[in-house]
Amino acid sequence: MISDKYAIIVESSESATYVTPYFEGKPLKNAIKRLDIGGKILTNYLKDILSFRHLDLKNSDRLIKQIK
């Protein structure tokens, strides 16, 4: 049985990603982590992968964001 008292929330913004674990419905403040990987880095990485394998999408930021 899965309980709703335990969870991990992952929030990704343009420049950073935050990971917050919850235990018995309360956030564990000492376990919250900030990663310096956000939407912009992921968009650029996806753009590089798609451009390398299929098409030249280096200048198509809008299209890559829609794919993401």
Q: Where are the domains of the chain?
A: 1-37, 38-68
Task: Note the pTM of the prediction, 2 decimals.
Answer: 0.60
What value does the mean pLDDT take over residues 44-52?
77
Residue with tokens 């930021």: 61
Q: What is the pLDDT of residue 54?
A: 59
Using the predicted structure, report yes or no on whether residue 51 has a pLDDT greater than 90. Answer: no
Model confidence band, residue 1 (pLDDT cutoffs 50, 70, 90): very low
Tokens in use for 60? 């198509």
* CB-based contacts of 19-23 (< 8 A; 24+ apart in sequence): none
Q: Quick one: tokens of 64? A: 């890559």
Rounded to 5 degrees, what are φ and ψ at 43? -65, -45
How many Å apart are CA 60 and CA 46, to the nearest integer? 11
pLDDT in tens, 7-47: 999 998 888 999 999 998 899 999 999 999 888 888 888 87
